[in-house]
Amino acid sequence: MSAPTPHIDAKPGDIASTVIMAGDPLRAKFMAETYLENIRQVNQVRGMLGFTGTYKGKEVTVMGHGMGIPSIGIYTYELYHFYDVQTIIRVGSLGAYHKDLKLGDLVLAMGACTDSNYGAQYELPGTFAPIADFGLLRKAVDACEHFGYDYMVGNVMSSDVFYSDHPQGDKWLKMGVLGVEMEASALYMNASRAGRKALVICTVSDHVFTGEVTTSEQRRTTFTRMMEVALTLL
């Protein structure tokens, strides 16, 4: 297969070597329009908007990836393998487990646990531990320190289930997992298999145990700190 793909109609050369991705394509649109110059739309298939432009003279693509491991698995696989993308940074939302995390805090996902069966495709003789690229992680920590943003670094849980019949957050918390999202593990697995780089930066959008929550509009247009950190990694 070559570009365009069944899910991305960008032509070869339309997508930068670094792609910043958000689950919500409207968040990607907001980010492109807020931070990038010379933007052009490069994808619209299934409404998964993608834009390429420049940030401080460096080319970058900002694109949606949808919700859940199957969706991000498809888009990031195609970007790595058919568009020669070298680095993917996810900027997403996270439900906090850790008691010290507050709404708006950043979480840098050093590793990603999961209840998904995504990794079974590799037929490994054990359990694979999906982790971030250390160089990107270190730069993201430096950026958070520079900006003075509240953040934590650690493990996240990439769940296949949003509305769980048997919530398991307390068990993951006992293992030091900071919070739950739905995509990091697949991104990290795809990056590892492709020999490329990846990092997940999340903003705490709600707290699983306190019941605090943000609105969809807040998640789309006010979670700018993680975007600013991601842009420093170009």
pLDDT digits (tens, 9 = 90+) for 101-135: 999 999 999 999 999 999 999 999 999 999 999 99
The predicted model gives 187-206 an average pLDDT of: 98
Ranges of each domain in the chain: 18-231
Percent of the chain whose predicted confidence (pLDDT) is above 70: 100
Q: What is the mean pLDDT of the chain?
A: 96
The predicted model gives 27-40 an average pLDDT of: 97
Output the pLDDT for position 1: 72
Which structure tokens are listed for 177?
């997992």
Phi and psi at 48, nearest 5°, equal -85, 85
What is the full DSSP assignment across 106-127? EEEEEEEEES-SGGGGG--SS-
User: pLDDT tens across 73-110, in order?
Assistant: 999 999 999 999 999 999 999 999 999 999 999 999 99
Output the pLDDT for position 155: 98
Confidence band of 223 (pLDDT split at 50, 70, 90):
very high
The predicted model gives 166-176 an average pLDDT of: 95
Output the pLDDT for position 71: 98
Distance, CA of 146 to chain centre = 21
* CA-wise closest residue to 187 among 91, 110, 76: 76
* Spatial separation of the C-alpha atoms in residues 21 and 42, rounded to whole Å: 14
Indicate left, alpha or beta for 91 from its phi (over 0: left) and psi (-120 to 50: alpha). beta
pTM of the model: 0.96
Q: Flag whether pLDDT at 25 surpasses 80.
A: yes
Catalytic residues: 206
Output the pLDDT for position 17: 98
Confidence band of 221 (pLDDT split at 50, 70, 90):
confident
The identity of residue 27, as a single letter, is R
Output the pLDDT for position 220: 82
Reduced 3-state DSSP string for 146-160: HHCCCEEEEEEEECC
Assign domain 18-231 to its CATH architecture.
Answer: 3-Layer(aba) Sandwich (3.40)
Lowest-pLDDT range of 3-7, 62-66, 173-177, 222-226: 3-7
The predicted model gives 153-176 an average pLDDT of: 95
* Spatial separation of the C-alpha atoms in residues 192 and 218, rounded to whole Å: 33
* CA-wise closest residue to 129 among 111, 107, 146: 111
Output the pLDDT for position 2: 76
